[in-house]
């Protein structure tokens, strides 16, 4: 198997270039004012301009209104949207734009029902549940709750870092791993050493998985 690596919460063009140099496959820009990794649309445009063809740009939104989503699509021109809030399936689907749906792993969640309702072709990102935070908690959830086989891209998030990402890839076998706080020196500031280690260890674990098949 191979695994894609998404570095989320990029806040400057310099960070975007650094993450690409480290081998990241996707870069996430957070347009959500309550996040410590928030960037305004104008800053997101500047970051988008330095993302080369080897990486995809993902814009993360939380309970945004339609006007903001339309603005992001028009101005930032991301490859994918990521809806990380309480958006309904109808809201996410109305833009006819490829999106990732974040699934926060609350107790009693019916994963199959969530997947069937949203039909997110770009994948489902499974993240830790928090009562008052939409992602970026730094907390890990019980990976055994995830399905062992899927017909959609499975994206693993929640408390990942360079020390546990290899185990995550070996055990869960996700299509993609997503990290934000786990590779930071401080909120919104990525650590180049941690980013490089995260990418390298994720990719290496995927190669080992492939060799063990």
Residue range 22-55, pLDDT digits in tens:
999 999 999 999 999 999 999 999 999 999 999 9
What is the band of 1 on the pLDDT scale with cuts at 50, 70, 90?
low
Over 50: is that where the pLDDT of 213 sits?
A: no
| Host domain of residue 94 | 4-212
Angle between the N-to-C axes of helices 192-212 and 165-172, in degrees from 0 to 180, rounded to the nearest 10: 30
DSSP 1: -
Q: How many domains does the chain have?
A: 1
Residue range 119-139, pLDDT digits in tens:
999 999 998 755 555 555 556
Q: Give the separation between CA 153 and CA 149, rounded to whole angstroms.
A: 10
Secondary structure (DSSP) of 10-52: --SHHHHHHHHHTT-SEEEEE--TTSTTB--HHHHHHHHTT--
Residue range 165-179, pLDDT digits in tens:
999 999 999 999 999
- Nearest-5° angle of CA 55, CA 57, CA 59? 160
Instruction: Give yes or no: 8 in active site.
Output: yes
Catalytic residue among 25, 57, 92, 127: 127
Q: What is the CATH number of the domain that holds 13?
A: 3.20.20.70
- b/e map of 117-143 (b: 16 or more CB within 10 Å)? ebebebbbbbbbeeeebbbbbbebbee
Q: Judge residue 65's burial from the number of C-beta atoms within 10 Å of its C-beta, 0-12 exposed, 13-18 middle, 19 or more buried.
A: exposed
User: Which among 165, 30, 161 has a CA at the least distance from the CA of 102?
Assistant: 30
Catalytic residue among 8, 25, 57, 178: 8
pLDDT confidence of residue 140? 76
């Amino acid at each position: 198997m191979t695994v894609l690596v998404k570095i989320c919460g990029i806040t400057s063009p310099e960070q975007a270039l650094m993450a690409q140099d480290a081998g990241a496959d996707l870069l996430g820009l957070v347009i959500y004012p309550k996040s410590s990794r928030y960037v305004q649309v104008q800053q997101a445009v500047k970051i988008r301009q330095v993302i080369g063809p080897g990486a995809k740009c993902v814009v993360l939104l939380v309970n945004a209104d339609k006007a903001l989503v339309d603005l992001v699509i028009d101005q930032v021109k991301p490859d994918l949207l990521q809806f990380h809030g309480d958006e309904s399936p109808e809201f996410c689907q109305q833009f006819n734009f490829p999106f990732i749906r974040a699934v926060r792993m609350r107790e009693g969640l019916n994963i199959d029902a969530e997947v069937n309702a949203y039909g997110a072709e770009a994948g489902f990102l499974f993240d830790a549940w928090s009562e008052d935070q939409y992602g970026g908690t730094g907390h890990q959830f019980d990976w055994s709750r995830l399905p062992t086989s899927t017909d959609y891209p499975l994206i693993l998030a929640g408390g990942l870092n360079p020390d546990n990402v290899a185990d995550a890839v070996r055990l869960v076998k996700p299509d993609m791993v997503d990290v934000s706080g786990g590779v930071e020196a401080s909120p919104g500031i990525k650590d180049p050493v941690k980013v490089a280690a995260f990418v390298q260890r994720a990719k290496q674990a995927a190669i080992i998985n492939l060799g063990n098949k």
